[in-house]
Structure 1
Amino acid sequence: MRIGLLETGEPPESLIPAYGRYGGMFQRLLGPGHDYATFDVQAGVLPKTLGACDAYIVTGSSAGVYDDLPWIEPLKGFLASARDQVPLVGVCFGHQVMAEAFGGSAVKSDKGWGIGLQSYSVSKPAAWMDDAAHVSAPGSHQDQVVALAPGGQVLAGSDFTPFGVLAYGDKAISMQFHPEFDPAYATALIESRRGARFSEEQADAAVASLAAPNDSRRIAGWIDGFLTGAAKATKA
């Protein structure tokens, strides 16, 4: 399968030499069993046709869906046209921009930052999921989906993030946490923002939480299972 990685952001420059960019993180998460093409969405680069790849993943970003940036509306247009046509996966910003593109809403939450290990309860397991009742993965977000798009379903979430994992029919899913973040990178990201975006207490608690086991490998299997099944259905 050829997976298009729609990069909508990048790590802090100081962390790139050690951890790479977001597209590379997804390649490590999903492994070498696929071909990958990376598109620098921030630079205005989108696939010329939906058929350029078999499926697309929208990465995280430090931008908000409400920001006045020239690349956000074209991305929303691409995603709206891709819905129900090719498999789509959105993560963090990708989760939020898919909701907006499909008719939902995402805002800067008055709950504040969600950082460290984030845990969701599974309320509606899909066919590509296993029987896990709870899943945990690193998270880093201040924005949240607050209104579900027409046709959307909530599969998992928490009191802090009710719209944690969403599905739109059988060809689009999204999630707020970051299964592609290695705990070492998630820790380094928090440390780079300590005392600026987060208080010392918030940073300490978030870093400590990342020492616990996470379900990133399980979620990688979910994503792979979803993409494989959705791609087969598209070609059928």
Structure 2
Amino acid sequence: MKIGILLTGHAPEELAPHYGDYIEMFKSLLSGQDFEFLGYKVVDGEFPKSIKDADGWLITGSKHGAYENHSWIPPLEDFIREAVTLNIPLVGVCFGHQIIAQALGGKVEKFDGGWAVGRQTYDFAGTEISLNAWHQDQVVELPPGATTIASNSFCEHAAVLYGDRAFTVQPHPEFSADFVDGLINTRGRGVVPEDILEQAIDHLDEPTASQTIADQFADFFRQERPR
């Protein structure tokens, strides 16, 4: 099965030599699932020639806001709507989670409650799952037909399911503790309040359920769908 990864932002230059870009992180997260991967740097204007070039698509995180005025965002939203129309499965993470919601009629904004950084715990249908997060923007209104499947007191729509069309999560299962530590020092200092950063550092060594979410992504991609 071919999975196309749509890169919507680059990892910090200081960290990329050690951890790779987000395409490589998702390849690592989904390794062992018998997938073949294609990568496209849509943030740089590189789009697939056809939506049928892959059997499923994953949209990465980004430092950009879904509501910002970038030339690559409208064609990405068109791509999302076409995938949903053709029932080609989509997975979205952080920015990917937000842009899918926005493209389908939801609302994304800079959350007035501030930042979520580092290990966060969510209620996934009665099961507690902890994952690393890095965001201020949030989905604040769901599109028609979308269902929230995970939340916590800070993030109401932490994971969303669009039937068999799309599965999106706000946190980052692809982020290791070491990478979050790197983000704190390259993008966090002077931007995110220090108390939030220090709290994140205090919990860096605690376990997360990244593999659980990776398996859920893989199962979602593999679902039988009418075409």
Short-chain TM bin: over 0.9
The aligned counterpart of 1:59 is 60
Could you list the runs of 5+ residues in structure 2 that have no partner in the other structure?
Answer: none
Instruction: Show CA shifts across 1:139-197 (max 9, x none).
Output: 00010000000010011111100100001111211000000111111111112234311
Question: Paired residue for 2:116?
Answer: 114
Provide the rounded CA distance (Å) in 1 between the counterparts of 2:177 and 2:188: 16
The one-letter code sitting in structure 2 at the alignment partner of 1:233 is: R
Structure 1 contact 191–203 (Cα < 8 Å) conserved? no
CA contact (8 A) 1:117 1:138 kept: yes
Measured in 1, the distance between the counterparts of 2:138 and 2:97 equals: 9
Query: Runs of 4+ in structure 1 displaced over 3 angstroms?
Result: none
Conserved 8 A contact 1:9-1:60: yes
Query: Which residue number in structure 2 is paired with residue 207 of structure 1?
Result: 201
TM-score in terms of structure 1 length: 0.92
CA distance in 1, matches of 2:193, 2:99: 28
Superposition deviation, residue 234 in structure 1: 4.4
5 Å-filtered alignment, 1:82-101, equals 82-84=83-85, 85-101=87-103
Q: Aligned pairs, how many?
A: 225
Paired letter, 1:73: P
Matches of residues 126-145 of structure 1 in structure 2 within 5 Å? 133-145=127-139
Q: Give the alignment of 1:178-189 within 5 angstroms.
A: 178-189=172-183
CA distance 1:210–1:234, change in 2 (3 Å)? farther
- Cα drift, residue 15 of structure 1: 0.5
Task: Identify the residue that residue 29 of structure 1 maps to in structure 2.
Answer: 29
Aligned to 1:127: none
1:199 shift after superposition: 2.9
Residue in structure 1 matched with residue 80 of structure 2 by the alignment: 79
Q: Per-residue displacement from partner, 1:188-236 (whole Å, max 9, x unpaired)?
A: 111223431123322111111221111001111111111111xx3246x
CA distance in 1, matches of 2:188, 2:54: 39
Bigger mean CA deviation after superposition, 20-29 or 79-88: 79-88
> Does the aligned pair in 2 maintain the 1:137–1:214 contact within 8 Å?
yes
Deviations 1:44-73 (A, max 9, x none): 122221210000000000000111110011
* 2:210 pairs with 1:228: no
Distance in 1 separating the partners of 2:122 and 2:22? 23
CA distance in 2, matches of 1:198, 1:207: 13
Q: Name the aligned partner's letter for residue 178 of structure 1.
A: H
What is the root-mean-square deviation in Å for CA atoms of aligned residues?
Answer: 1.2
The equivalent of 1:69 in structure 2 is 70
Q: Indicate if the aligned counterparts of 1:115 and 1:139 stay in contact, CA closer than 8 A.
A: yes
**Structure 1: 5+ residue stretches without partners:** 124-131
3-state DSSP of counterpart to 1:196: coil
Counterpart in the other structure of 2:107: 105
